[in-house]
Amino acid sequence: MRILVVNPNTTASMTDKIAAACMRVAAPGTEIVAVNPLDGPPSIEGYFDEVFAVPGLIAEMRKAPDMDAYVIACFDDTGLDAARCITDAPVIGIGEAAFHMASLVAGRFGVVTTLARSVPAIEHNLGKYGLATRCARVRASEVPVLELERPGSQAYHAISAEIARAIADDHAEAIVLGCAGMTDLADRLSSEHGLPVLDGVACAVKLTEGLVSLGARTSKLGGYASPRSKSFAGLFAPASP
């Protein structure tokens, strides 16, 4: 099977890291194609950035209409509902994937993300997915997304310290890492703290492989129905369905 993994921000080094994480867990015979748009924010940190990332995400998916499935590699699940409207192939967001996986291995899980401004969006998604009661707390490490890409940064230590607090204060039994840029830290953090630490990128790949193997498709009834044909104006004319 072929899976298109879209990093909705424009930082190519993060896309490379995400691709490597996908290939580490992909089953034999699964081809991973990882891309990012050329237009949009270099990182997605809150609602404002998210709005400007969605057009590039949709454009990258439309360039590859014959994929077996798609993964959106932003923990906020940026543009996930819109993306599901343009294909009947499975589309998985790494946030939703990680929440569901964590709920299968722990009674209560904690989320450690980047900045505090991202916490409300994550909490909103937990409620939307019906998993808010399984989450002990969403914590911010106050590490900017691009700091995860900087050699020699103290990002790991800040994230690790927040995990320790989640275990001690929130009684978290598993941890979900709340950013695609943290994908290479999961194994080390799990060993350090002695509990499951889940990376949404890896979780999304494995869930996607399962859906494709089952022959499951995205429903075209209700909210995920294909867009109605109409002409968009101005800057967004090329995106017209």
The total of other beta-carbon atoms located within 10 Å of residue 150's CB is 11
β-pairing, 174-178 vs 197-199, is parallel
For the full predicted model, state whether its pTM sits above 0.85: yes
Both tokens of 46, joined, read 């809150």
What separation in angstroms does the CA of 124 have from each of 71, 96, 129, 172, 183? 20, 12, 9, 19, 22
The DSSP element (H or E) to which 209 belongs, if any, is: helix 200-214
CATH number of 2-94+202-239: 3.40.50.12500
Q: Outline which parts of the chain fall under CATH 3.40.50.12500.
A: 2-94+202-239, 95-200
CA atoms of 241 and 237, how far apart (whole Å): 9
pLDDT tens sequence for the chain (241 residues): 999 999 999 999 999 999 999 999 999 999 999 999 999 999 999 999 999 999 999 999 999 999 999 999 999 999 999 999 999 999 999 999 999 999 999 999 999 999 999 999 999 999 999 999 999 999 999 999 888 888 888 999 999 999 999 999 999 999 999 999 999 999 999 999 999 999 999 999 999 999 999 999 999 999 999 999 999 999 888 889 8
**Per CATH, is 95-200 categorized as 3.40.50.12500?**
yes
CA atoms of 172 and 161, how far apart (whole Å): 14
